[in-house]
Structure 1
Amino acid sequence: MLDLGTSLLASVERDPRALAIVDGETRLTYREWYTRISSLVAGLDAMGLQRGDRILTLMQNRWENATLHWACQLAGLVITPLNWRAKADEVAYAVTDSEARAIFYEAVAAPEVMAAPEAAALPRIMAGEPTDGAASLSSMLEAGAADARPRAAAEDWSLMLYTSGTTSRPKGVPRRHRAERAAAVAHVAQNLYHHSERTLGVMPLYHTMGVRSLLATSLIGGTFVCLPRFDVAGALSAIEAERVTNLYLVPTLYHDIVHHESFSKDRVRSVTKLGFAGASMTDGLMKKLDEAFQPALFVNHYGSSEVYTFTIDQKAPLKPGSAGRAGINQMIRVVPLGARSTETAAKPGEEGEIIALLNGDESFEGYWKRPEANEKALRDGWYFTGDTGFFDADGDLFVTGRVDDMIITGGENVSPVEVESCLSLHEKVLEVAVVGLPDERWGKVVTAFVKRAGTITAEELDDHCRTSGLANFRRPRSYVFVDAIPKSPVGKLLRRKLVAGEYDSET
């Protein structure tokens, strides 16, 4: 297996004049980009950074961020990207936990970086106009240097992602060059990407989906069209102007695009392939996207930071809700909830915990300095995902939620995803999230939080559920109409905020 630096060099030699990256007025071919990357490698050397050192980054999806990612692969450094919205305490934790040797950031993250003494004490390099004594990333990129040669091996660490940490301290997920490249090759194969495709680089480069888009695009001599910060108008303009051919987004971003007032089929006519991951997609949204884009390929990709691909469904609209079958580098099982053995398989239709084989080419090998997390999640060569699901009679996987999200009401298990998909099919429901709220009699009561697309009452929604075939015990017993459904920066639904009452009721 090639290391990523050699993989990039192969792409440069294969397609030197192909357009590699676009960011506003910046347009670089593979040969031109390699020159800038090489300059940055020289700059990293001048800082005294050594193979295996970690560097922390807090940047949006600008071309300098993508360039830094590749420079680290060539130099043998471990890039450790953090959400550019991170607060000072989160920055401080990541600096200390990762043992970072330098920090790269931009103006939007500067106040929090400077408020974290651990970060302020490191060598600091800023994209854009540097402040507070930071060095200039632009100067490093513009300095001349000889072509960089790959220094890392396939077994070296490539990057370390941090999990979201919704219930505990964020966990570092270190991944090797070979695992990262295997995931990128699988991404190309499973999404049927062809030579010179163009992708919208909007999923953040601190997220596994964003990194995969960057690496996969290089393998096919394609163009990575940067969108530093998601906004629908900017996304539609970039798709139209740069003739983007494929999209790989979380469902929330698709929802915002297809419901935007300036959306039209004509503006996205270049897009032939849709892929989504990061969360389940409701039946209603999938139907709307299929009608709006009429894609040749519509892929549901189910995976994680730890093990990139779990399952793939390349014909998602034909069986809504299905996550398909194991990816080409993977084996998947469903075991009964609470099971300790990896050999006890749940029956078809029986909901259980989804586990993934750790021997797969895309897999991580354990969390960074977190033995207690490894003990919980890694067992007998399998990764316990914390996700719930079941196999249907055809052998296709359905992901129903998180083990912690399962609603136990009156002794019955209710999956929020199933209820959400049912409600999403009502034309007056724009968005919906379902949680279990404490109840003295039932333990938890199924509660639906709804963002309306028009005038609709709780009684009408209850009638919709009754006539849709949803089992009686799964019907919401309460409806709350809200202005917005709380989500993470990458569009993941934050059910915990609804349970905690952190939402605004509809005004």
Structure 2
Amino acid sequence: MERVTDWLQKRSIISPDRVALVNGSSNEMITYRSLDARAAKWAYYMKEKGIQKGDRIVVISKNHPVCFELLFACSKIGAVFVPLNWRLSSSEIDSLIGDCTPELVFFQSEFGHLVNGRQKGYKPEKIEETANAVYGGTELASQTSLSKDDPWVMVYTGGTTGKSKGVVLSYKSINANALNTVISWNLTEEDSTITYLPTFHTGGLNALSLPILMIGGKVVTADRFQPLQAIDMLNHHGCTIVLLVPTMYHGLMEEKEFKHASFPKMKVFLSGGAPCPGKVYDVFKSKGLQFKEGYGLTEAGPNNFYIDPGRMKKGCIGKSMMLNEVKVVDDNGQRVKPGDVGELLLGGDHLFKGYWQMPEETAAALKDGWLHTGDLARVDHEGDYYIVGRKKDMIISGGENIYPQEIEHWLCEHPSISECAVVGLPHEKWGEVVTAYVTLRDGRSISGTEAKAYCLEKFGAFKIPKHYHVIDEIPKTDVGKVNKKALVENHTLKIKGKSTCSSNTTNSR
């Protein structure tokens, strides 16, 4: 058995007094010694509650140091850390809890409404109340023996059928991604970042937070992105690297203070989560700031590529990192020539273990040691990779993955709607904006306000369409399938009949 090393404990011995985490809201600083001690106390508390190796521990929380305390506590007893998206509706949270069957659910008090107690078998606890008892308690003395293939984290991501899938990440996959990132991106203990991406996303946990903690750097947790505050915090905390989604960069560039702001400690700004508009490159280049895009997904890393930010090749994600493999293949599994488009495949120890209780889906994604991403890519003559599209209809809006089929199914249950198609249309700020095209039943009508309220009964606000268009007929292909490509390409077509549109709320993200 390949044993797992508790590297946080090792780091607490090597760098005990270095700052590991900073609470961006309160400026509380937590050293590596304190972080390891807190994790050990949470581990003791959970062990006393009867938590055993393999048990799932759900955490519903905005970005906060306690998320990492609980993450590392789980590693000390072999429990599986399951962070859930607090932006979802209570029914969606209920469904995920029912799927992963946790023994404990920790939630911030403001999310009490999401834990309705209908599911049996788990014990919900308010983080704030429990933490007071835990911090004054006992540290775990002996840790559970673990192998590298044991699960550490399970992150839920949407599926092509609309059903969320639990992506199981082993110690091997998480630690391989962290080590690969440290080596390939030349991270050191002098590096510091702010984690704005939510910790229920792989980007919030694995893109920068865990690699920087592994190498002994500093991670600042931020529970809300506000452009002006971000400018101040990046400089106040001496950040050297940061990952933001394109919508965040859009917000930064809209602030007049950004035009005059300097970031003396910053080595590079990273963009991920969605394709980044070319004008972002131009703005950062004009300010003399290093900028680059990355690519990843929950099932792999999410770090897979490296590019020298000084090269500034728009839309380019660079070359494979040191400890993973990439290739682009055609429908027969053969590598494509430079310039040709094919499916992107990823290989390496950082790949996920499998989908929770979904063996068929796991087998379809992992074949012969390669992850079939479903994303289309090309390679140029310099060996640099570009993502050019997605095989499936997933929408990425504001860094959130949104799957249209579940929205379509729900809309089609409305008594006024006959057919519908949900697509992502280009949007300067959000990358894509969720848009619904519907046809109505004879004599029926529906307003944008009504459609929005109806969707809010089922989904979190970030998922629901921002525009609702009534058209005479949903375009179809020759074989009768909905032709979403035609809708996207012709979204400026003349809308027949009355078009309705919900409000473009920006605070719903």
Change (3 A) 1:166 1:125: farther
Residues 379-405 of structure 1 show CA distances to partners (whole Å, capped at 9, x for unaligned) of 333221111121223322110121124
Would you say the 8 A contact 2:40–2:139 is kept in 1? yes
Q: 1:182 aligned to 154, 169, 176, which one?
A: 176
What residue in structure 1 maps to residue 227 of structure 2?
232
Residue 137 (str. 1) matches residue 139 (str. 2)? no
What residue in structure 2 maps to residue 365 of structure 1?
353
Q: 1:385 aligned to 370, 373, 378, which one?
A: 373
Q: 1:60 aligned to 59, 62, 75, which one?
A: 62
Residue 311 (str. 1) matches residue 305 (str. 2)? yes
Change (3 A) 1:433 1:278: closer
Please tell me the residue identity of whatever aligns with 2:89.
K
Total equivalences in the alignment: 428
Change (3 A) 1:267 1:324: closer
What residue in structure 2 maps to residue 491 of structure 1?
none
Residues 443-482 of structure 1 show CA distances to partners (whole Å, capped at 9, x for unaligned) of 566677xxxxxxxxxxxxxxxxxxxxxxxxxxx65549xx
CA distance in 1, matches of 2:311, 2:502: 32
| SS class of match (1:89) | helix
What residue in structure 2 maps to residue 100 of structure 1?
102
What residue in structure 1 maps to residue 112 of structure 2?
110
C-alpha deviation, 1:433, in angstroms: 4.2
Would you say the 8 A contact 2:160–2:394 is kept in 1? no
Q: Mapping of 1:242-257 within 5 angstroms?
A: 242-257=237-252
Q: Mapping of 1:67-82 within 5 angstroms?
A: 67-82=69-84
Change (3 A) 1:444 1:46: closer
CA distance in 2, matches of 1:157, 1:269: 40
What residue in structure 1 maps to residue 18 of structure 2?
18
Change (3 A) 1:287 1:40: same
Would you say the 8 A contact 2:268–2:309 is kept in 1? no
What residue in structure 2 maps to residue 465 of structure 1?
none
Please tell me the residue identity of whatever aligns with 1:113.
V
Please tell me the residue identity of whatever aligns with 1:8.
L
Q: 2:386 aligned to 374, 393, 398, which one?
A: 398
Q: Specify which structure has the bigger relative contact order, considering alpha-carbon pairs within 8 angstroms and separated by 6 or more residues.
A: 2
| SS class of match (2:317) | strand
**Identity percentage of aligned residues:** 25
CA distance in 1, matches of 2:86, 2:343: 32
| SS class of match (1:268) | coil
CA distance in 1, matches of 2:140, 2:102: 27
Residues 96-145 of structure 1 show CA distances to partners (whole Å, capped at 9, x for unaligned) of 2212111011122210112x5116x52122123x5xxxxx2332133243
CA distance in 1, matches of 2:477, 2:148: 57
Please tell me the residue identity of whatever aligns with 2:373.
T
Would you say the 8 A contact 1:316–1:322 is kept in 2? no
What residue in structure 2 maps to residue 198 of structure 1?
192
Residues 15-73 of structure 1 show CA distances to partners (whole Å, capped at 9, x for unaligned) of 11111111123112111222222221111111110122111111111111121111111
CA distance in 2, matches of 1:219, 1:299: 23
CA distance in 1, matches of 2:504, 2:225: 25
Please tell me the residue identity of whatever aligns with 1:118.
Q
C-alpha deviation, 1:149, in angstroms: 4.3
What residue in structure 2 maps to residue 471 of structure 1?
none
CA distance in 2, matches of 1:103, 1:505: 34
Q: Mapping of 1:63-462 within 5 angstroms?
A: 63-114=65-116, 116-118=117-119, 122-128=122-128, 130=129, 136-145=130-139, 149=143, 151-165=145-159, 167-212=161-206, 213-266=208-261, 268-292=263-287, 294-295=289-290, 298-308=291-301, 309-315=303-309, 318-336=312-330, 339=331, 341-342=332-333, 344-357=334-347, 360-405=348-393, 433=432, 439=475
CA distance in 2, matches of 1:168, 1:26: 40
C-alpha deviation, 1:351, in angstroms: 1.9
Residues 174-232 of structure 1 show CA distances to partners (whole Å, capped at 9, x for unaligned) of 11112111101111222222223111022111111111222112122111111022222
Would you say the 8 A contact 1:199–1:247 is kept in 2? yes
CA distance in 2, matches of 1:397, 1:170: 29
| SS class of match (1:17) | coil
Change (3 A) 1:125 1:403: same
Please tell me the residue identity of whatever aligns with 2:16.
P
Residues 307-350 of structure 1 show CA distances to partners (whole Å, capped at 9, x for unaligned) of 113333233753211122222222222223xx2x42x2233222
Stretches of structure 1 lacking an aligned partner (at least 5 in a row):
131-135, 408-415, 449-475, 481-499
CA distance in 2, matches of 1:166, 1:371: 16
Change (3 A) 1:435 1:143: closer
Would you say the 8 A contact 1:4–1:181 is kept in 2? no
Residue 28 (str. 1) matches residue 30 (str. 2)? yes
CA distance in 1, matches of 2:94, 2:432: 33
Would you say the 8 A contact 2:247–2:430 is kept in 1? no
Change (3 A) 1:276 1:5: farther
Q: What is the aligned-residue RMSD (CA, Å)? A: 3.3
| SS class of match (1:224) | strand
Stretches of structure 2 lacking an aligned partner (at least 5 in a row):
396-422, 438-473, 494-498
Residues 252-271 of structure 1 show CA distances to partners (whole Å, capped at 9, x for unaligned) of 22222232344355353332
CA distance in 2, matches of 1:271, 1:234: 16
CA distance in 2, matches of 1:432, 1:77: 37
